[in-house]
Amino acid sequence: MRIRYRVTAAVSAGAAIALLLTSCSGVAAVERKPAGEPRRGGTVALGWNTEAQSVDPVTCAIGIGVGPCQAIYGALLYYDAETREIVPGMAESFTSKDGKVWTLKLRPGVMFTDGTPFDAAAVAFNWQRALDPSQLSPSRAAAQMIGWQVLDPTTLRVTSEKANYQLPYQLTEPLAFIGSPTAIQRKGADFATAPVGAGPFVFRSWARGTEMVLERNDGYWDSPRPYLDRFVYKTIPADDQRYNALQAGEVDVMVVVSDKYAERARVAGLEVVQYAQLGGNGVRLNSRGPLADPDLRTAIGKLIDNEQIRAAAFPGEQGAEYFVAEDQPLFDEAAKWPEKDIEGAQRLVDGYRARHGGEKIVLSYVTTAGSPVLTRVAEVLQAQLQQADGLELEIKALDGAGYASALVSGSYDLVLNALGGAHPENLYRVFHTNGSGNTADYSNPIVDRALERAHASNDPAVVADAYKAAIRELVATTAYRYWRPSVTSLILRADVYGVEPTYQYWMRPELAWIQE
């Protein structure tokens, strides 16, 4: 899937009139200097609408937690959104000749911030910990896919029962983060609030629901990175509040998924970095409970009106008619969302109720709390589904930790969800029967076979065809539905440079610097 990665510089002279008009709303354009050499020092604060549910490496490997965890632990490998390639991180390389036997080479001499070695034994310890059922780790399924053997302090042999040429992607998220075994054993449950890694930043404090403060790791392997003295994650639920905080200098980078703020920022002369992801902003449907019934899932698909949701919550922004946008390589005309059909949905709902004693169907929709936009989405979705007599949707708006807990445990019928990241291997993670992120318990042999074909081949054409086959079946079975493409925008103050997006909503803070 081709990734659009765009940096928008200050407005041109042709936008001068619009710029003058925005000045009355308090937006002041600041001239952006040409980028010089990165310099050390200063603090950058990033604002997003929710916070990580955990900074323990065994539990943070989902979309909300991966950003702070990457800052604390680094990642074994990274997915480069611009080149669409896997690149080294804490590991120098991860290679294989047959897709079954892989060699993971770590960087020599790397140390955790407690002075203990970041070595092959530490990687093995963390992966083994993810296998422990008591940890409730979202990484457990990924760890179960492989076996490993420590060969020497910087080398592990990793094996897969079947050929899996997409295995490196597991080392960019679910198996990416390595904590100090010594600290984990010494601190026990307290490690989650006092983590020790070998990444670019050191954990200092966390005021839940407000901010997490990280400070530079002076012993980081990739000197002179990180350039910043301090990196702060701030939780500001509402988009307007985050934008106001950006203007007031309370945050330096604002994360947003609404194009409205990106366009407003461009007109004001601010820098905008955008990251197009697989899938979009929508809902994942659980396969347990009432929604295990295929007719009821089909009814949900017929009741959702993408355009109505977009008009209510994202006016003027791009909508979604297909699972993959028409300008993307995996576009497939057959993977089109169903037409709205209230009468057809009603027949399916009536049939389900007749088979289950006539009781009203009550479904839950889990979303994040505090965002007016997401509240509007939830209310419109509720009204749409309740157009079918006998169907009720209860909205459960949760804070970041509560939302993450519900997502990981599968405690929902429908859940606000984007697939996370840009690479189509996320389809395996979320929808394969054994996927590490398949919290909805979705299991479909057609999807499984297609995604396994993608693993077994190193031919890009074969892999693309396999992903398309999986996507068509996901649409046909209403496993997931979204109403707008997922594009994350990072809006920067004029003196912040080196911002590169990673994962779903985050940036790599070790690459950023402040230019005076």
DSSP string, 249-281: TS-SEEEE--HHHHHHHHHTT-EEEEEEEEEEE
Mind listing the pLDDT tens digit for each residue in 287-336?
999 999 999 999 999 999 999 999 999 888 888 899 988 877 788 999 99
Residue range 434-454, pLDDT digits in tens: 887 899 999 999 999 999 999
Q: Is the torsion defined by CA of 30, 272, 84, 202 positive or negative?
A: positive
Q: How confident is the model at residue 15 (pLDDT cuts 50, 70, 90)?
A: very low
Token couple for 181:
């075994």
List pLDDT tens digits, range 377-430: 999 999 999 999 999 999 999 987 788 889 888 999 999 988 767 788 889 989
Per-residue pLDDT band at 31 (split at 50, 70, 90): low
**Please, how many CA atoms are within 13 Å of residue 300, restricted to the half-sphere of its CB?**
33
| Angle at CA of residue 404, ends 398 and 405, nearest 5° | 90
Cα separation of 241 and 248, whole Å?
10
pTM above 0.85, yes or no: no
- What the block records as the tokens of 170 is 């597991």
pLDDT at 279 over 90: no
Phi, psi at 322, each rounded to 5°: -125, 165
Domain boundaries along the sequence of the chain:
43-270+493-514, 280-485
**How do the residues of the chain divide into helix, strand and coil, expressed in percent and rounded to 5?**
35, 25, 40
The pLDDT value recorded for residue 317 is 82
Determine which helix (DSSP H) or strand (DSSP E) holds 136, and give its type and residue range: none
Is the N-terminal amide bond of 294 cis, ω within 30° of 0?
no
In the block, residue with structure tokens 């707008």: 484
Q: What is the overall mean pLDDT for the chain?
A: 89
SS3 for 113?
coil
Give the lowest-confidence range in 260-269, 397-406, 419-428, 503-512.
Answer: 419-428
Summarize pLDDT for 173-198 with one digit per residue, the tens: 889 999 999 999 999 989 988 999 99
pLDDT at 506 over 80: yes
Q: Reply yes or no on whether the pLDDT at 33 is more than 80.
A: no
The DSSP element (H or E) to which 498 belongs, if any, is none
Place of tokens 């990981």: 408
Mean pLDDT of 114-141: 95
The third-level CATH classification (topology) of the domain covering 43-270+493-514 is D-Maltodextrin-Binding Protein; domain 2 (3.40.190)
pLDDT tens for residues 225-243? 999 999 999 999 989 999 9
CB 258 within 8 A of CB 252: no
**3-class DSSP state for residue 366?**
strand
Q: Contact 252/492 with Cβ under 8 angstroms? A: yes
- CATH of segment(s) 280-485: 3.10.105.10
| Tens of pLDDT, residues 60-114 | 876 678 899 999 999 999 988 778 789 999 999 999 999 999 999 999 999 999 9
**So what's the pLDDT on residue 298?**
97
Contact present, 59 and 184 (Cβ < 8 Å): no
What is the model's pLDDT at position 327?
77
Dihedral class, residue 279 (left if φ above 0, else alpha if ψ from -120 to 50, else beta): left
Helix (H, G, I), strand (E, B) or coil at 463: helix
| Amino acid of residue 343 | E
Does residue 340 carry a pLDDT above 90? yes
- Convert the pLDDT of each residue in 476-499 to its tens digit: 999 999 998 888 899 999 999 999
Between the alpha carbon of residue 462 and those of residues 140, 423, 433, 465, 467, the distances in Å are: 28, 16, 21, 5, 9
